[in-house]
Chains A and B, each alone.
Chain A
Protein backbone atom coordinates (compact mmCIF):
# COMPACT_ATOMS: atom_id res chain seq x y z
CA UNK A 1 0.00 0.00 0.00
CA UNK A 2 1.46 3.37 -0.99
CA UNK A 3 1.40 6.33 1.45
CA UNK A 4 -1.22 7.92 -0.77
CA UNK A 5 -3.56 4.95 -0.29
CA UNK A 6 -3.00 5.11 3.45
CA UNK A 7 -4.34 8.67 3.47
CA UNK A 8 -7.42 8.07 1.38
CA UNK A 9 -8.51 5.02 3.34
CA UNK A 10 -9.40 7.35 6.24
CA UNK A 11 -12.63 8.29 4.50
CA UNK A 12 -15.35 5.74 5.14
CA UNK A 13 -17.33 4.73 2.04
CA UNK A 14 -20.57 6.08 3.49
CA UNK A 15 -19.00 9.52 3.83
CA UNK A 16 -17.60 9.54 0.34
CA UNK A 17 -21.05 9.14 -1.17
CA UNK A 18 -22.48 12.50 -2.17
CA UNK A 19 -26.21 13.09 -2.14
CA UNK A 20 -28.09 14.29 -5.19
CA UNK A 21 -30.27 17.31 -4.51
CA UNK A 22 -32.34 19.63 -6.64
CA UNK A 23 -32.48 23.37 -6.13
CA UNK A 24 -34.91 25.68 -7.88
CA UNK A 25 -32.14 28.15 -8.49
CA UNK A 26 -32.91 31.59 -9.91
CA UNK A 27 -35.99 30.20 -11.61
CA UNK A 28 -34.51 27.00 -13.07
CA UNK A 29 -34.21 23.49 -11.62
CA UNK A 30 -30.57 22.57 -10.99
CA UNK A 31 -29.54 19.11 -9.89
CA UNK A 32 -26.21 18.60 -8.18
CA UNK A 33 -24.36 16.17 -5.95
CA UNK A 34 -23.26 17.51 -2.57
CA UNK A 35 -21.47 16.02 0.39
CA UNK A 36 -23.24 16.38 3.74
CA UNK A 37 -20.78 19.03 4.88
CA UNK A 38 -21.08 21.21 1.74
CA UNK A 39 -22.57 24.56 2.68
CA UNK A 40 -25.09 26.20 0.40
CA UNK A 41 -22.49 28.93 -0.12
CA UNK A 42 -19.86 26.48 -1.36
CA UNK A 43 -22.45 24.65 -3.48
CA UNK A 44 -23.34 27.93 -5.21
CA UNK A 45 -19.77 29.09 -5.73
CA UNK A 46 -17.86 25.86 -6.29
CA UNK A 47 -20.44 23.48 -7.76
CA UNK A 48 -22.71 25.86 -9.67
CA UNK A 49 -20.22 28.59 -10.63
CA UNK A 50 -22.41 31.32 -9.21
CA UNK A 51 -19.70 33.45 -7.65
CA UNK A 52 -21.86 36.52 -7.10
CA UNK A 53 -22.59 35.27 -3.59
CA UNK A 54 -19.50 36.11 -1.57
CA UNK A 55 -17.63 34.31 1.18
CA UNK A 56 -16.65 36.87 3.79
CA UNK A 57 -16.26 35.56 7.33
CA UNK A 58 -17.80 32.13 6.66
CA UNK A 59 -19.22 32.28 10.21
CA UNK A 60 -22.54 34.10 9.80
CA UNK A 61 -21.23 37.39 11.07
CA UNK A 62 -20.75 39.54 7.96
CA UNK A 63 -23.76 38.86 5.70
CA UNK A 64 -21.74 38.78 2.44
CA UNK A 65 -23.19 35.34 1.65
CA UNK A 66 -26.84 36.38 2.09
CA UNK A 67 -29.24 34.71 -0.35
CA UNK A 68 -32.99 34.16 -0.39
CA UNK A 69 -34.25 30.63 0.36
CA UNK A 70 -37.96 30.23 -0.31
CA UNK A 71 -38.11 34.02 -0.41
CA UNK A 72 -36.49 34.53 3.00
CA UNK A 73 -33.02 36.03 3.52
CA UNK A 74 -30.55 33.73 5.23
CA UNK A 75 -26.77 33.35 5.42
CA UNK A 76 -25.69 30.58 3.05
CA UNK A 77 -22.41 29.93 4.91
CA UNK A 78 -24.28 28.45 7.90
CA UNK A 79 -26.67 26.43 5.74
CA UNK A 80 -26.01 22.88 4.60
CA UNK A 81 -26.93 22.43 0.95
CA UNK A 82 -28.27 18.92 1.61
CA UNK A 83 -30.88 20.39 3.98
CA UNK A 84 -32.26 22.64 1.21
CA UNK A 85 -33.14 19.88 -1.27
CA UNK A 86 -36.14 21.12 -3.25
CA UNK A 87 -35.90 24.70 -2.01
CA UNK A 88 -36.18 27.83 -4.11
CA UNK A 89 -32.90 29.74 -3.96
CA UNK A 90 -32.41 33.25 -5.31
CA UNK A 91 -28.93 34.74 -5.56
CA UNK A 92 -27.86 38.16 -6.78
CA UNK A 93 -27.57 36.64 -10.29
CA UNK A 94 -31.32 35.92 -10.24
CA UNK A 95 -32.63 39.37 -9.39
CA UNK A 96 -32.59 41.07 -12.81
CA UNK A 97 -35.64 40.52 -15.03
CA UNK A 98 -35.42 40.45 -18.83
CA UNK A 99 -32.14 42.30 -18.82
CA UNK A 100 -33.38 45.03 -16.48
CA UNK A 101 -31.77 45.45 -13.09
CA UNK A 102 -33.86 44.80 -9.99
CA UNK A 103 -34.96 48.17 -8.51
CA UNK A 104 -32.55 47.64 -5.61
CA UNK A 105 -29.66 46.93 -7.96
CA UNK A 106 -30.48 50.09 -9.93
CA UNK A 107 -30.75 52.09 -6.72
CA UNK A 108 -27.36 50.83 -5.50
CA UNK A 109 -25.82 52.05 -8.78
CA UNK A 110 -27.70 55.34 -8.67
CA UNK A 111 -26.70 56.07 -5.07
CA UNK A 112 -23.13 54.79 -5.31
CA UNK A 113 -23.89 52.39 -2.45
CA UNK A 114 -20.57 50.57 -2.50
CA UNK A 115 -16.86 51.09 -2.81
CA UNK A 116 -15.03 47.77 -3.19
CA UNK A 117 -18.28 45.93 -3.90
CA UNK A 118 -17.53 42.74 -2.01
CA UNK A 119 -20.44 43.04 0.42
CA UNK A 120 -22.81 44.33 -2.27
CA UNK A 121 -24.48 41.09 -3.43
CA UNK A 122 -25.23 40.24 0.20
CA UNK A 123 -26.44 43.77 0.90
CA UNK A 124 -28.79 43.67 -2.09
CA UNK A 125 -30.18 40.21 -1.37
CA UNK A 126 -30.64 41.21 2.26
CA UNK A 127 -32.45 44.39 1.22
CA UNK A 128 -34.75 42.36 -1.05
CA UNK A 129 -35.61 40.23 2.00
CA UNK A 130 -36.02 43.34 4.14
CA UNK A 131 -38.52 44.85 1.70
CA UNK A 132 -40.50 41.61 1.54
CA UNK A 133 -40.65 41.41 5.33
CA UNK A 134 -42.22 44.87 5.44
CA UNK A 135 -40.98 45.65 8.97
CA UNK A 136 -38.74 48.60 8.20
CA UNK A 137 -40.14 52.03 7.45
CA UNK A 138 -37.92 54.61 9.12
CA UNK A 139 -34.21 55.08 8.49
CA UNK A 140 -33.43 53.71 11.95
CA UNK A 141 -35.53 50.62 11.29
CA UNK A 142 -33.69 50.00 8.02
CA UNK A 143 -30.33 50.42 9.77
CA UNK A 144 -31.33 48.01 12.52
CA UNK A 145 -32.74 45.35 10.21
CA UNK A 146 -29.74 45.60 7.85
CA UNK A 147 -27.24 45.28 10.71
CA UNK A 148 -26.40 41.72 9.68
CA UNK A 149 -24.63 43.06 6.58
CA UNK A 150 -21.27 44.63 7.26
CA UNK A 151 -19.56 47.02 4.85
CA UNK A 152 -15.92 47.55 5.73
CA UNK A 153 -15.65 50.42 3.22
CA UNK A 154 -18.28 52.20 5.29
CA UNK A 155 -20.77 52.84 2.50
CA UNK A 156 -23.65 52.66 4.97
CA UNK A 157 -25.11 56.15 4.32
CA UNK A 158 -25.41 55.41 0.59
CA UNK A 159 -26.67 51.87 1.18
CA UNK A 160 -29.41 53.35 3.36
CA UNK A 161 -30.22 55.97 0.69
CA UNK A 162 -30.41 53.28 -1.99
CA UNK A 163 -32.77 51.12 0.04
CA UNK A 164 -34.96 54.10 0.87
CA UNK A 165 -35.11 55.04 -2.80
CA UNK A 166 -36.02 51.49 -3.83
CA UNK A 167 -38.71 51.36 -1.16
CA UNK A 168 -40.18 54.66 -2.35
CA UNK A 169 -40.16 53.44 -5.95
CA UNK A 170 -41.75 50.05 -5.17
CA UNK A 171 -45.36 49.83 -3.99
CA UNK A 172 -45.63 47.57 -0.92
CA UNK A 173 -47.78 45.06 -2.76
CA UNK A 174 -45.10 44.63 -5.43
CA UNK A 175 -42.32 43.82 -2.96
CA UNK A 176 -43.38 40.19 -2.48
Chain B
Protein backbone atom coordinates (compact mmCIF):
# COMPACT_ATOMS: atom_id res chain seq x y z
CA UNK B 1 0.00 0.00 0.00
CA UNK B 2 1.29 3.48 -0.85
CA UNK B 3 1.77 6.19 1.77
CA UNK B 4 -1.07 8.66 2.20
CA UNK B 5 -2.41 11.26 4.57
CA UNK B 6 -5.61 10.77 6.51
CA UNK B 7 -8.35 13.21 7.41
CA UNK B 8 -11.64 12.69 9.20
CA UNK B 9 -14.64 14.85 8.32
CA UNK B 10 -17.71 15.36 10.48
CA UNK B 11 -20.18 17.00 8.05
CA UNK B 12 -21.08 16.67 4.37
CA UNK B 13 -20.10 20.22 3.41
CA UNK B 14 -16.58 19.68 4.76
CA UNK B 15 -16.37 16.34 2.96
CA UNK B 16 -17.26 17.97 -0.36
CA UNK B 17 -14.75 20.81 0.18
CA UNK B 18 -12.04 18.28 1.06
CA UNK B 19 -12.59 16.09 -2.01
CA UNK B 20 -12.96 19.08 -4.35
CA UNK B 21 -9.67 20.50 -3.10
CA UNK B 22 -7.61 17.41 -3.88
CA UNK B 23 -7.89 15.43 -7.10
CA UNK B 24 -5.77 12.63 -5.63
CA UNK B 25 -7.96 12.13 -2.56
CA UNK B 26 -10.54 9.38 -2.08
CA UNK B 27 -13.39 8.99 0.34
CA UNK B 28 -13.21 5.91 2.54
CA UNK B 29 -16.15 4.32 4.38
CA UNK B 30 -16.22 0.52 4.75
CA UNK B 31 -12.92 0.27 2.88
CA UNK B 32 -13.61 -3.29 1.72
CA UNK B 33 -12.95 -2.51 -1.93
CA UNK B 34 -10.67 0.55 -1.74
CA UNK B 35 -8.13 -0.93 0.69
CA UNK B 36 -8.04 -4.16 -1.31
CA UNK B 37 -7.28 -2.15 -4.46
CA UNK B 38 -4.67 -0.10 -2.60
CA UNK B 39 -2.92 -3.29 -1.48
CA UNK B 40 -2.75 -4.28 -5.15
CA UNK B 41 -1.47 -0.79 -6.12
CA UNK B 42 -4.46 -0.37 -8.43
CA UNK B 43 -5.57 2.62 -6.34
CA UNK B 44 -2.85 4.93 -5.01
CA UNK B 45 -4.62 7.86 -3.34
CA UNK B 46 -2.50 10.53 -1.73
CA UNK B 47 -5.13 11.31 0.82
CA UNK B 48 -7.99 9.35 2.39
CA UNK B 49 -10.98 11.27 3.69
CA UNK B 50 -12.76 9.22 6.34
CA UNK B 51 -16.51 9.82 5.92
CA UNK B 52 -17.69 7.23 8.44
CA UNK B 53 -18.54 9.96 10.97
CA UNK B 54 -20.98 11.76 8.63
CA UNK B 55 -24.62 11.48 9.76
CA UNK B 56 -25.65 9.36 6.76
CA UNK B 57 -26.30 5.92 8.25
CA UNK B 58 -30.06 6.28 8.74
CA UNK B 59 -32.85 4.38 7.01
CA UNK B 60 -35.98 6.56 6.98
CA UNK B 61 -39.30 6.85 5.12
CA UNK B 62 -39.40 9.39 2.27
CA UNK B 63 -42.14 11.96 1.67
CA UNK B 64 -43.31 9.92 -1.32
CA UNK B 65 -44.05 6.68 0.50
CA UNK B 66 -40.66 5.15 -0.21
CA UNK B 67 -37.61 4.45 1.90
CA UNK B 68 -34.35 6.42 2.05
CA UNK B 69 -31.19 4.38 2.60
CA UNK B 70 -28.41 6.55 4.00
CA UNK B 71 -25.17 6.22 2.07
CA UNK B 72 -23.36 4.98 5.17
CA UNK B 73 -25.94 2.36 6.16
CA UNK B 74 -24.11 -0.96 6.11
CA UNK B 75 -25.15 -3.68 3.72
CA UNK B 76 -26.15 -5.75 6.76
CA UNK B 77 -28.27 -3.02 8.29
CA UNK B 78 -30.13 -2.55 5.00
CA UNK B 79 -30.63 -6.27 4.32
CA UNK B 80 -32.07 -6.93 7.78
CA UNK B 81 -33.95 -3.65 8.25
CA UNK B 82 -37.57 -4.59 9.07
CA UNK B 83 -39.00 -2.21 6.45
CA UNK B 84 -36.62 -3.49 3.77
CA UNK B 85 -37.45 -7.10 4.63
CA UNK B 86 -41.18 -6.34 4.59
CA UNK B 87 -41.46 -3.98 1.62
CA UNK B 88 -38.33 -4.62 -0.47
CA UNK B 89 -37.43 -8.28 0.09
CA UNK B 90 -35.83 -8.38 -3.37
CA UNK B 91 -33.20 -5.96 -2.07
CA UNK B 92 -32.61 -8.01 1.09
CA UNK B 93 -32.21 -11.15 -0.94
CA UNK B 94 -29.76 -9.54 -3.37
CA UNK B 95 -27.58 -8.07 -0.62
CA UNK B 96 -27.44 -11.36 1.26
CA UNK B 97 -26.39 -13.13 -1.95
CA UNK B 98 -23.22 -11.04 -2.04
CA UNK B 99 -19.91 -11.09 -0.19
CA UNK B 100 -19.65 -12.55 3.34
CA UNK B 101 -21.22 -11.62 6.67
CA UNK B 102 -18.04 -9.78 7.74
CA UNK B 103 -17.83 -7.76 4.53
CA UNK B 104 -21.54 -6.91 4.63
CA UNK B 105 -21.04 -5.66 8.21
CA UNK B 106 -18.41 -3.23 6.90
CA UNK B 107 -19.55 -2.24 3.41
CA UNK B 108 -21.76 0.81 2.93
CA UNK B 109 -24.59 1.56 0.50
CA UNK B 110 -22.58 4.30 -1.22
CA UNK B 111 -19.48 2.14 -1.40
CA UNK B 112 -21.44 -0.69 -2.96
CA UNK B 113 -22.47 1.63 -5.80
CA UNK B 114 -18.88 2.86 -6.20
CA UNK B 115 -17.12 -0.51 -6.13
CA UNK B 116 -14.86 -1.32 -9.04
CA UNK B 117 -14.93 -4.34 -11.31
CA UNK B 118 -13.27 -7.57 -10.18
CA UNK B 119 -11.80 -8.13 -13.67
CA UNK B 120 -8.53 -9.97 -12.98
CA UNK B 121 -6.67 -7.85 -15.53
CA UNK B 122 -7.85 -4.64 -13.84
CA UNK B 123 -6.39 -6.01 -10.60
CA UNK B 124 -3.12 -7.17 -12.15
CA UNK B 125 -0.89 -4.11 -12.59
CA UNK B 126 1.49 -6.19 -14.74
CA UNK B 127 -1.10 -6.29 -17.55
CA UNK B 128 -2.42 -3.36 -19.62
CA UNK B 129 -5.92 -2.17 -18.73
CA UNK B 130 -7.86 0.75 -20.17
CA UNK B 131 -9.79 1.10 -16.93
CA UNK B 132 -6.58 1.56 -14.92
CA UNK B 133 -4.61 3.45 -17.58
CA UNK B 134 -6.70 4.96 -20.39
CA UNK B 135 -5.28 4.03 -23.77
CA UNK B 136 -3.15 1.17 -22.46
CA UNK B 137 -5.26 -1.54 -24.07
CA UNK B 138 -7.52 -4.31 -22.76
CA UNK B 139 -5.91 -7.56 -21.65
CA UNK B 140 -9.22 -9.28 -21.03
CA UNK B 141 -10.14 -9.29 -24.72
CA UNK B 142 -8.61 -12.51 -25.99
CA UNK B 143 -7.80 -13.53 -22.42
CA UNK B 144 -9.65 -15.44 -19.72
CA UNK B 145 -13.20 -14.15 -20.11
CA UNK B 146 -15.43 -16.50 -18.11
CA UNK B 147 -16.61 -13.60 -15.90
CA UNK B 148 -16.76 -10.92 -18.57
CA UNK B 149 -19.48 -8.93 -20.26
CA UNK B 150 -21.89 -10.19 -22.89
CA UNK B 151 -23.88 -6.96 -23.14
CA UNK B 152 -22.87 -3.34 -23.65
CA UNK B 153 -19.14 -4.04 -23.86
CA UNK B 154 -16.78 -2.13 -26.12
CA UNK B 155 -13.52 -2.83 -27.90
CA UNK B 156 -11.87 -1.00 -24.99
CA UNK B 157 -13.33 -2.87 -22.02
CA UNK B 158 -15.37 -6.00 -21.33
CA UNK B 159 -15.41 -5.73 -17.53
CA UNK B 160 -18.61 -6.22 -15.51
CA UNK B 161 -19.97 -4.43 -12.47
CA UNK B 162 -19.72 -6.89 -9.57
CA UNK B 163 -22.56 -5.77 -7.29
CA UNK B 164 -25.62 -7.77 -6.31
CA UNK B 165 -27.23 -4.91 -4.37
CA UNK B 166 -27.10 -2.67 -7.44
CA UNK B 167 -28.94 -5.22 -9.58
CA UNK B 168 -31.88 -5.09 -7.18
CA UNK B 169 -31.66 -1.29 -6.87
CA UNK B 170 -31.82 -1.01 -10.67
CA UNK B 171 -34.86 -3.30 -10.82
CA UNK B 172 -36.56 -1.25 -8.10
CA UNK B 173 -35.81 2.00 -10.03
CA UNK B 174 -34.04 3.55 -7.06
CA UNK B 175 -32.75 7.12 -7.15
CA UNK B 176 -29.24 8.13 -6.07
CA UNK B 177 -28.89 11.39 -4.14
CA UNK B 178 -25.55 13.19 -4.43
CA UNK B 179 -24.11 16.47 -3.16
CA UNK B 180 -21.24 18.44 -4.64
CA UNK B 181 -19.81 21.94 -5.00
CA UNK B 182 -22.67 22.74 -7.42
CA UNK B 183 -25.32 21.62 -4.93
CA UNK B 184 -27.58 18.60 -4.57
CA UNK B 185 -28.88 16.50 -7.44
CA UNK B 186 -30.52 13.14 -8.00
CA UNK B 187 -29.47 10.48 -10.50
CA UNK B 188 -31.88 7.78 -11.68
CA UNK B 189 -30.34 4.42 -10.89
CA UNK B 190 -30.30 3.46 -14.56
CA UNK B 191 -28.18 6.55 -15.29
CA UNK B 192 -25.73 6.13 -12.41
CA UNK B 193 -23.45 3.45 -13.84
CA UNK B 194 -22.20 3.92 -17.39
CA UNK B 195 -21.16 1.67 -20.25
CA UNK B 196 -17.44 1.56 -20.99
CA UNK B 197 -17.42 2.98 -24.53
CA UNK B 198 -14.01 4.55 -25.12
CA UNK B 199 -13.73 5.85 -21.53
CA UNK B 200 -13.86 2.70 -19.39
CA UNK B 201 -11.93 4.41 -16.59
CA UNK B 202 -15.20 6.18 -15.75
CA UNK B 203 -17.54 3.81 -13.91
CA UNK B 204 -20.30 6.24 -12.96
CA UNK B 205 -21.89 9.57 -13.88
CA UNK B 206 -21.25 10.87 -10.37
CA UNK B 207 -18.53 13.51 -10.57
CA UNK B 208 -15.35 12.96 -8.54
CA UNK B 209 -16.14 15.97 -6.32
CA UNK B 210 -19.62 14.71 -5.49
CA UNK B 211 -20.57 12.51 -2.55
CA UNK B 212 -23.45 10.03 -2.42
CA UNK B 213 -25.69 10.92 0.51
CA UNK B 214 -28.54 8.42 0.07
CA UNK B 215 -30.37 6.02 -2.20
CA UNK B 216 -34.15 6.42 -2.36
CA UNK B 217 -36.44 3.45 -2.95
CA UNK B 218 -39.79 4.23 -4.60
CA UNK B 219 -43.03 3.23 -2.86
CA UNK B 220 -43.56 0.12 -5.02
CA UNK B 221 -41.37 -2.65 -3.65
CA UNK B 222 -42.83 -5.70 -5.47
CA UNK B 223 -42.91 -7.52 -2.15
CA UNK B 224 -45.35 -10.21 -3.28
CA UNK B 225 -43.70 -11.40 -6.48
CA UNK B 226 -39.94 -11.20 -6.62
CA UNK B 227 -36.78 -13.27 -6.88
CA UNK B 228 -33.06 -12.66 -6.87
CA UNK B 229 -31.45 -15.55 -8.69
CA UNK B 230 -27.66 -15.72 -8.63
CA UNK B 231 -25.75 -18.30 -10.66
CA UNK B 232 -22.12 -18.69 -9.64
CA UNK B 233 -19.24 -21.15 -9.48
CA UNK B 234 -19.73 -21.72 -5.70
CA UNK B 235 -23.06 -21.69 -3.88
CA UNK B 236 -21.84 -18.98 -1.52
CA UNK B 237 -19.31 -16.17 -1.37
CA UNK B 238 -18.63 -15.88 -5.09
CA UNK B 239 -19.34 -13.26 -7.72
CA UNK B 240 -22.15 -13.88 -10.18
CA UNK B 241 -21.69 -15.46 -13.56
CA UNK B 242 -25.24 -14.31 -14.18
CA UNK B 243 -27.70 -12.82 -11.70
CA UNK B 244 -31.32 -11.81 -12.21
CA UNK B 245 -33.48 -9.49 -10.16
CA UNK B 246 -37.06 -10.22 -11.16
CA UNK B 247 -40.15 -8.48 -9.82
CA UNK B 248 -43.78 -8.61 -10.88
CA UNK B 249 -46.99 -6.89 -9.92
CA UNK B 250 -49.77 -9.33 -10.71
CA UNK B 251 -53.48 -8.80 -11.25
CA UNK B 252 -54.86 -12.31 -11.11
CA UNK B 253 -52.85 -14.34 -13.59
CA UNK B 254 -51.96 -11.24 -15.62
CA UNK B 255 -48.77 -9.23 -15.33
CA UNK B 256 -49.57 -5.61 -14.44
CA UNK B 257 -45.93 -4.52 -14.17
CA UNK B 258 -42.62 -6.30 -14.61
CA UNK B 259 -39.03 -5.55 -13.72
CA UNK B 260 -36.09 -7.64 -14.89
CA UNK B 261 -32.45 -6.70 -14.37
CA UNK B 262 -29.39 -8.79 -15.14
CA UNK B 263 -26.19 -8.71 -13.11
CA UNK B 264 -22.75 -10.07 -13.94
CA UNK B 265 -23.23 -9.49 -17.66
CA UNK B 266 -22.33 -5.84 -18.28
CA UNK B 267 -20.47 -2.75 -17.05
CA UNK B 268 -23.78 -1.75 -15.41
CA UNK B 269 -26.76 -3.61 -14.03
CA UNK B 270 -28.58 -4.46 -17.29
CA UNK B 271 -32.18 -3.29 -17.39
CA UNK B 272 -34.31 -2.62 -20.48
CA UNK B 273 -37.66 -0.98 -19.66
CA UNK B 274 -38.89 -1.57 -23.24
CA UNK B 275 -38.61 -5.32 -22.66
CA UNK B 276 -40.40 -4.99 -19.32
CA UNK B 277 -43.20 -3.09 -21.08
CA UNK B 278 -43.84 -6.04 -23.42
CA UNK B 279 -44.71 -8.19 -20.39
CA UNK B 280 -47.47 -5.83 -19.26
CA UNK B 281 -50.90 -7.40 -19.82
CA UNK B 282 -49.40 -10.79 -20.64
CA UNK B 283 -50.22 -14.02 -18.82
CA UNK B 284 -47.52 -15.19 -16.41
CA UNK B 285 -46.53 -18.15 -18.54
CA UNK B 286 -43.23 -19.63 -19.59
CA UNK B 287 -43.91 -18.52 -23.18
CA UNK B 288 -44.26 -14.87 -22.07
CA UNK B 289 -41.10 -15.08 -20.02
CA UNK B 290 -39.13 -16.74 -22.82
CA UNK B 291 -40.08 -13.94 -25.22
CA UNK B 292 -38.89 -11.36 -22.68
CA UNK B 293 -35.67 -13.27 -22.03
CA UNK B 294 -34.94 -13.51 -25.76
CA UNK B 295 -35.50 -9.78 -26.12
CA UNK B 296 -33.33 -8.89 -23.13
CA UNK B 297 -30.28 -10.72 -24.52
CA UNK B 298 -30.97 -10.03 -28.21
CA UNK B 299 -27.84 -7.89 -28.56
CA UNK B 300 -25.61 -10.15 -26.48
CA UNK B 301 -22.17 -10.92 -27.89
CA UNK B 302 -19.66 -13.41 -26.57
CA UNK B 303 -15.97 -12.71 -25.97
CA UNK B 304 -14.41 -16.15 -26.10
CA UNK B 305 -15.06 -18.30 -23.04
CA UNK B 306 -18.12 -16.40 -21.83
CA UNK B 307 -20.36 -17.52 -24.71
CA UNK B 308 -22.22 -19.86 -22.36
CA UNK B 309 -23.44 -16.85 -20.38
CA UNK B 310 -25.83 -15.80 -23.17
CA UNK B 311 -27.91 -18.97 -22.92
CA UNK B 312 -27.40 -19.01 -19.15
CA UNK B 313 -28.77 -15.47 -18.89
CA UNK B 314 -31.77 -16.36 -21.06
CA UNK B 315 -32.64 -19.38 -18.92
CA UNK B 316 -31.96 -17.56 -15.66
CA UNK B 317 -34.39 -14.79 -16.65
CA UNK B 318 -37.12 -17.36 -17.37
CA UNK B 319 -36.44 -19.18 -14.08
CA UNK B 320 -36.41 -15.97 -12.08
CA UNK B 321 -39.65 -14.68 -13.59
CA UNK B 322 -41.34 -18.04 -13.00
CA UNK B 323 -40.23 -17.98 -9.37
CA UNK B 324 -41.39 -14.39 -8.99
CA UNK B 325 -44.79 -15.23 -10.47
CA UNK B 326 -45.09 -18.07 -7.97
CA UNK B 327 -44.47 -15.61 -5.14
CA UNK B 328 -40.74 -16.04 -4.86
CA UNK B 329 -40.98 -19.78 -4.48
CA UNK B 330 -39.40 -22.33 -6.72
CA UNK B 331 -41.95 -24.95 -7.75
CA UNK B 332 -39.52 -27.72 -6.96
CA UNK B 333 -37.69 -26.34 -3.96
CA UNK B 334 -37.92 -24.50 -0.69
CA UNK B 335 -38.86 -20.84 -0.39
CA UNK B 336 -36.37 -18.80 -2.36
CA UNK B 337 -37.37 -15.90 -0.14
CA UNK B 338 -35.39 -17.21 2.83
CA UNK B 339 -32.09 -15.67 1.82
CA UNK B 340 -29.91 -16.77 4.71
CA UNK B 341 -30.66 -20.40 4.05
CA UNK B 342 -31.27 -20.00 0.35
CA UNK B 343 -29.27 -22.38 -1.75
CA UNK B 344 -29.78 -21.49 -5.37
| A80 at the B interface (CB under 8 A) | yes
- B340: which A residues are within 8 A, CB to CB? 135-136, 141, 144-145
How many A-B residue pairs lie within 8 Å, measured between CB atoms? 94
* CA gap between A34 and B114 in the complex, in Å: 28
CB distance A58 to B39 under 8 Å?
yes
CB distance from B89 to the nearest CB of A (A): 15
- B101: which A residues are within 8 A, CB to CB? 73, 126, 129-130, 133, 145-148
* CA gap between A104 and B151 in the complex, in Å: 47
Interface centre among B5, B39, B102, B340 (most CB of A within 10 A): B102
Which listed residue (B31, B48, B106, B236) contacts A36, Cβ 8 A? B48
CB distance A78 to B36 under 8 Å?
yes
With contacts A19-B6, A36-B5 taken as known, whether A140 is within 8 angstroms of B35 at the C-beta atoms is no
Which listed residue (A15, A141, A147) contacts B100, Cβ 8 A? A147
Interface centre among B99, B100, B105, B340 (most CB of A within 10 A): B100
A65 to B, closest residue via Cβ: B102
With contacts A60-B32, A80-B28 taken as known, whether A15 is within 8 angstroms of B3 at the C-beta atoms is yes
Residues 263-290 of B, flagged 1 when their CB comes within 8 A of A and 0 if not, give: 0000000000000000000000000000
CB under 8 Å from chain B, chain A span 7-53: 11-12, 14-15, 19, 36-37, 39
Which listed residue (B5, B36, B50, B343) contacts A59, Cβ 8 A? B36
With contacts A80-B31, A140-B343 taken as known, whether A75 is within 8 angstroms of B102 at the C-beta atoms is yes
CB distance from A39 to the nearest CB of B (A): 7
| A143 at the B interface (CB under 8 A) | yes
CB distance from B110 to the nearest CB of A (A): 16
- B341: which A residues are within 8 A, CB to CB? 138, 140-141, 144
CB distance from A66 to the nearest CB of B (A): 6
CB under 8 Å from chain B, chain A span 50-87: 58-60, 63, 66, 72-75, 78-80, 82-83
Beyond the given pairs A73-B105, A147-B100, 14 more chain A to chain B contacts, judged by CB atoms under 8 angstroms and listed by A's residue number, are A37-B3, A63-B100, A74-B102, A79-B35, A79-B106, A83-B8, A83-B31, A126-B102, A129-B102, A135-B340, A138-B341, A144-B341, A147-B101, A148-B103
- Can you list 19 A-B pairs with a CB-CB distance of less than 8 A? A19-B6, A37-B4, A59-B36, A60-B36, A60-B103, A63-B100, A73-B105, A74-B102, A78-B36, A78-B103, A83-B28, A83-B31, A126-B102, A140-B343, A141-B340, A144-B340, A144-B341, A145-B101, A146-B101
